[in-house]
Amino acid sequence: MKVVIVGAGSVGSSIARELLAHKHEILLIDLKPEVIGRSGLRGARWLVGDACELSTLQEAKLEEADVVVSASGDDKVNLVVSLLAKTEFGVGRTVGRVNNPKNDWMFNDSWGVDVAVNTPQLMTALVEEAVEIGDLVRLLTLQTGVSSLVEFTVPHDSHIIGSTVGAIDWPEDSTLVAILRDHAPITPSRDDVIDGGDELFFVTTIAAEDGLRALLSPSAHGSGSAEEELPEQAEDDGFDG
Protein backbone atom coordinates (compact mmCIF):
# COMPACT_ATOMS: atom_id res chain seq x y z
CA MET A 1 0.00 0.00 0.00
CA LYS A 2 1.26 3.48 -0.90
CA VAL A 3 0.79 5.98 1.91
CA VAL A 4 1.63 9.69 1.86
CA ILE A 5 2.03 11.31 5.27
CA VAL A 6 2.02 15.10 5.57
CA GLY A 7 3.83 16.28 8.71
CA ALA A 8 6.90 14.41 9.94
CA GLY A 9 6.82 15.47 13.57
CA SER A 10 6.26 13.07 16.46
CA VAL A 11 2.83 11.95 15.23
CA GLY A 12 3.64 11.61 11.55
CA SER A 13 6.93 9.84 12.23
CA SER A 14 5.28 7.39 14.60
CA ILE A 15 2.63 6.53 12.00
CA ALA A 16 5.32 6.09 9.35
CA ARG A 17 7.38 3.82 11.61
CA GLU A 18 4.44 1.51 12.24
CA LEU A 19 3.46 1.37 8.56
CA LEU A 20 7.04 0.69 7.48
CA ALA A 21 7.15 -2.23 9.92
CA HIS A 22 4.11 -3.61 8.08
CA LYS A 23 5.96 -3.31 4.74
CA HIS A 24 3.96 -0.39 3.31
CA GLU A 25 5.48 2.17 0.92
CA ILE A 26 5.77 5.52 2.70
CA LEU A 27 6.38 9.06 1.48
CA LEU A 28 6.67 11.84 4.07
CA ILE A 29 6.19 15.51 3.20
CA ASP A 30 7.44 18.24 5.52
CA LEU A 31 8.56 21.84 5.24
CA LYS A 32 11.62 21.33 7.44
CA PRO A 33 14.53 19.37 5.92
CA GLU A 34 16.06 18.82 9.37
CA VAL A 35 13.29 16.40 10.34
CA ILE A 36 14.73 13.83 7.92
CA GLY A 37 17.90 13.31 9.92
CA ARG A 38 16.28 13.25 13.34
CA SER A 39 13.38 10.99 12.43
CA GLY A 40 15.42 7.80 12.44
CA LEU A 41 13.15 6.36 9.75
CA ARG A 42 14.68 3.86 7.36
CA GLY A 43 13.01 2.88 4.13
CA ALA A 44 10.78 5.94 3.83
CA ARG A 45 10.94 8.41 0.95
CA TRP A 46 10.98 12.15 1.66
CA LEU A 47 9.80 15.32 -0.02
CA VAL A 48 10.64 18.72 1.44
CA GLY A 49 7.98 21.26 0.58
CA ASP A 50 4.69 22.93 1.40
CA ALA A 51 1.94 20.31 1.18
CA CYS A 52 -0.66 23.06 0.76
CA GLU A 53 0.92 23.90 -2.60
CA LEU A 54 -0.52 21.99 -5.55
CA SER A 55 2.93 21.74 -7.14
CA THR A 56 4.29 19.89 -4.09
CA LEU A 57 1.47 17.35 -4.19
CA GLN A 58 1.97 16.92 -7.93
CA GLU A 59 5.67 16.23 -7.32
CA ALA A 60 4.61 13.66 -4.72
CA LYS A 61 2.42 11.97 -7.38
CA LEU A 62 -0.48 11.99 -4.96
CA GLU A 63 -2.76 10.37 -7.52
CA GLU A 64 -0.79 7.12 -7.01
CA ALA A 65 -1.38 7.06 -3.24
CA ASP A 66 -3.82 4.63 -1.68
CA VAL A 67 -4.05 6.70 1.52
CA VAL A 68 -3.10 10.26 2.44
CA VAL A 69 -2.57 11.01 6.13
CA SER A 70 -2.61 14.69 7.14
CA ALA A 71 -0.76 14.56 10.46
CA SER A 72 0.65 18.08 10.86
CA GLY A 73 0.20 20.18 13.97
CA ASP A 74 -1.90 22.71 12.06
CA ASP A 75 -5.58 21.95 11.48
CA LYS A 76 -5.75 24.35 8.53
CA VAL A 77 -2.98 22.43 6.77
CA ASN A 78 -4.62 19.09 7.47
CA LEU A 79 -7.94 20.24 6.04
CA VAL A 80 -6.44 21.81 2.92
CA VAL A 81 -4.33 18.72 2.19
CA SER A 82 -7.32 16.39 2.64
CA LEU A 83 -9.46 18.54 0.36
CA LEU A 84 -6.81 18.70 -2.37
CA ALA A 85 -6.14 14.96 -2.08
CA LYS A 86 -9.81 14.22 -2.73
CA THR A 87 -10.78 16.87 -5.25
CA GLU A 88 -7.58 17.24 -7.29
CA PHE A 89 -6.03 13.78 -7.09
CA GLY A 90 -8.93 11.41 -6.40
CA VAL A 91 -7.26 9.70 -3.44
CA GLY A 92 -9.47 6.89 -2.18
CA ARG A 93 -8.81 7.28 1.55
CA THR A 94 -7.84 10.32 3.62
CA VAL A 95 -7.10 10.49 7.33
CA GLY A 96 -6.94 13.86 9.10
CA ARG A 97 -5.44 14.67 12.48
CA VAL A 98 -7.53 17.01 14.64
CA ASN A 99 -5.33 19.12 16.90
CA ASN A 100 -7.97 21.42 18.38
CA PRO A 101 -11.18 19.61 19.46
CA LYS A 102 -13.16 22.76 18.58
CA ASN A 103 -12.38 22.04 14.93
CA ASP A 104 -13.59 18.45 14.98
CA TRP A 105 -16.88 19.30 13.24
CA MET A 106 -15.01 20.49 10.13
CA PHE A 107 -13.20 17.20 9.57
CA ASN A 108 -15.79 15.57 7.34
CA ASP A 109 -16.39 14.82 3.67
CA SER A 110 -17.02 18.50 2.92
CA TRP A 111 -13.28 18.99 3.46
CA GLY A 112 -12.33 15.63 1.94
CA VAL A 113 -11.69 13.85 5.25
CA ASP A 114 -12.75 10.20 5.38
CA VAL A 115 -11.49 9.49 8.90
CA ALA A 116 -10.82 12.15 11.55
CA VAL A 117 -8.49 11.27 14.40
CA ASN A 118 -9.18 13.47 17.41
CA THR A 119 -6.44 12.57 19.89
CA PRO A 120 -7.95 14.32 22.96
CA GLN A 121 -11.33 12.74 22.24
CA LEU A 122 -9.75 9.32 21.75
CA MET A 123 -7.81 9.57 25.01
CA THR A 124 -11.00 10.58 26.83
CA ALA A 125 -12.81 7.59 25.35
CA LEU A 126 -10.06 5.20 26.41
CA VAL A 127 -10.17 6.56 29.97
CA GLU A 128 -13.94 6.19 30.06
CA GLU A 129 -13.75 2.71 28.56
CA ALA A 130 -11.36 1.67 31.32
CA VAL A 131 -13.57 2.83 34.18
CA GLU A 132 -17.16 3.01 32.91
CA ILE A 133 -19.23 -0.12 33.52
CA GLY A 134 -22.85 -0.15 32.46
CA ASP A 135 -22.68 2.80 30.08
CA LEU A 136 -22.05 3.06 26.35
CA VAL A 137 -18.69 4.59 25.47
CA ARG A 138 -17.89 5.88 21.98
CA LEU A 139 -14.36 4.87 21.01
CA LEU A 140 -14.12 6.09 17.42
CA THR A 141 -16.16 8.04 14.90
CA LEU A 142 -16.22 6.41 11.47
CA GLN A 143 -17.32 7.39 7.97
CA THR A 144 -17.05 11.14 8.48
CA GLY A 145 -19.34 11.28 11.49
CA VAL A 146 -22.07 8.91 10.27
CA SER A 147 -21.09 5.79 12.22
CA SER A 148 -19.14 4.97 15.36
CA LEU A 149 -17.44 2.16 17.22
CA VAL A 150 -18.84 1.93 20.75
CA GLU A 151 -18.16 -0.28 23.74
CA PHE A 152 -20.35 -1.50 26.59
CA THR A 153 -19.08 -3.41 29.63
CA VAL A 154 -21.89 -5.61 30.96
CA PRO A 155 -22.51 -5.06 34.71
CA HIS A 156 -22.86 -8.21 36.79
CA ASP A 157 -26.47 -7.30 37.59
CA SER A 158 -27.42 -6.50 33.98
CA HIS A 159 -30.77 -7.65 32.63
CA ILE A 160 -29.15 -9.01 29.46
CA ILE A 161 -26.99 -11.58 31.31
CA GLY A 162 -28.03 -15.08 30.28
CA SER A 163 -29.59 -13.92 27.02
CA THR A 164 -28.23 -15.20 23.74
CA VAL A 165 -27.06 -12.70 21.16
CA GLY A 166 -29.78 -13.83 18.77
CA ALA A 167 -32.54 -13.41 21.35
CA ILE A 168 -31.83 -9.71 21.95
CA ASP A 169 -33.72 -7.24 19.76
CA TRP A 170 -30.81 -5.00 18.86
CA PRO A 171 -31.69 -1.54 17.49
CA GLU A 172 -31.68 -1.08 13.76
CA ASP A 173 -28.35 0.19 12.39
CA SER A 174 -26.43 -1.35 15.33
CA THR A 175 -24.29 -4.46 14.85
CA LEU A 176 -22.47 -6.40 17.56
CA VAL A 177 -19.06 -7.07 16.00
CA ALA A 178 -17.02 -8.51 18.90
CA ILE A 179 -17.18 -9.71 22.49
CA LEU A 180 -14.12 -9.44 24.72
CA ARG A 181 -14.29 -12.03 27.51
CA ASP A 182 -11.43 -12.81 29.89
CA HIS A 183 -9.10 -10.80 27.64
CA ALA A 184 -9.95 -13.02 24.65
CA PRO A 185 -11.90 -11.72 21.62
CA ILE A 186 -14.93 -13.68 20.47
CA THR A 187 -16.66 -13.36 17.12
CA PRO A 188 -20.32 -13.25 18.22
CA SER A 189 -22.83 -15.81 16.97
CA ARG A 190 -26.57 -16.00 17.62
CA ASP A 191 -26.02 -18.74 20.23
CA ASP A 192 -23.40 -16.92 22.33
CA VAL A 193 -24.69 -16.17 25.84
CA ILE A 194 -24.01 -12.74 27.36
CA ASP A 195 -22.16 -12.86 30.68
CA GLY A 196 -21.33 -10.27 33.32
CA GLY A 197 -18.07 -8.48 32.63
CA ASP A 198 -18.29 -9.04 28.89
CA GLU A 199 -17.10 -6.10 26.79
CA LEU A 200 -19.43 -5.69 23.83
CA PHE A 201 -18.25 -3.80 20.76
CA PHE A 202 -20.74 -2.39 18.27
CA VAL A 203 -20.54 -0.58 14.97
CA THR A 204 -23.55 1.71 14.94
CA THR A 205 -24.82 4.89 13.39
CA ILE A 206 -24.56 7.97 15.58
CA ALA A 207 -28.36 8.29 15.47
CA ALA A 208 -28.81 4.75 16.79
CA GLU A 209 -26.54 5.18 19.81
CA ASP A 210 -29.34 6.42 22.09
CA GLY A 211 -31.49 3.39 21.27
CA LEU A 212 -28.59 1.05 21.96
CA ARG A 213 -27.86 2.84 25.23
CA ALA A 214 -31.51 2.56 26.27
CA LEU A 215 -31.50 -1.18 25.54
CA LEU A 216 -28.28 -1.90 27.38
CA SER A 217 -28.76 0.55 30.26
CA PRO A 218 -32.53 0.96 30.70
CA SER A 219 -31.99 2.90 33.92
CA ALA A 220 -29.66 5.38 32.26
CA HIS A 221 -30.98 8.83 31.51
CA GLY A 222 -30.89 9.95 27.88
CA SER A 223 -27.79 11.80 26.97
CA GLY A 224 -27.25 14.27 24.18
CA SER A 225 -25.69 13.20 20.91
CA ALA A 226 -22.43 14.54 19.60
CA GLU A 227 -22.89 17.44 18.18
CA GLU A 228 -16.54 27.02 4.83
CA GLU A 229 -14.44 28.76 7.32
CA LEU A 230 -10.92 28.24 8.56
CA PRO A 231 -10.62 26.37 11.88
CA GLU A 232 -9.39 27.60 15.20
CA GLN A 233 -5.92 26.60 16.30
CA ALA A 234 -5.25 24.65 19.47
CA GLU A 235 -4.22 26.92 22.31
CA ASP A 236 -1.12 24.89 23.09
CA ASP A 237 0.11 23.10 19.98
CA GLY A 238 3.14 22.06 21.97
CA PHE A 239 4.93 19.72 19.57
CA ASP A 240 5.00 20.05 15.81
CA GLY A 241 3.00 17.34 13.91
Strand partners, 138: 150
Cα separation, 79 vs 17, whole angstroms? 23
What residue ranges of the chain are covered by domains with CATH 3.30.70.1450? 132-216
CATH T-level assignment (fold) for domain 132-216: Alpha-Beta Plaits (3.30.70)
pLDDT in tens, 150-206: 899 999 999 999 999 999 999 999 999 999 999 889 999 999 999 999 999 999 998
Please report the pLDDT score of residue 227 as a whole number.
41
Domain range 2-117, CATH class: alpha beta
pLDDT in tens, 18-51: 899 989 999 999 999 998 888 888 899 999 999 9
Least confident of 54-58, 123-127, 186-190: 123-127
Residue 183 sits at φ, ψ, to 5 deg, of 70, 10
Q: Which residue intervals of the chain are DSSP H helices?
A: 10-21, 34-39, 54-59, 75-87, 119-131, 209-216
Confidence of residue 115 (pLDDT cuts 50, 70, 90): confident
pLDDT in tens, 214-230: 999 876 434 443 345 56
Record the pTM: 0.63
CB atoms < 10 A from the CB of 99, how many? 26
More confident residue, 74 or 138: 74
Please report the pLDDT score of residue 165 as a whole number.
96
What residue ranges of the chain are covered by domains with CATH 3.40.50.720? 2-117
Please report the pLDDT score of residue 222 as a whole number.
42
What is the edge-to-edge ordering of all strands in the sheet holding 184-186? 136-142, 147-153, 199-205, 174-181, 184-186
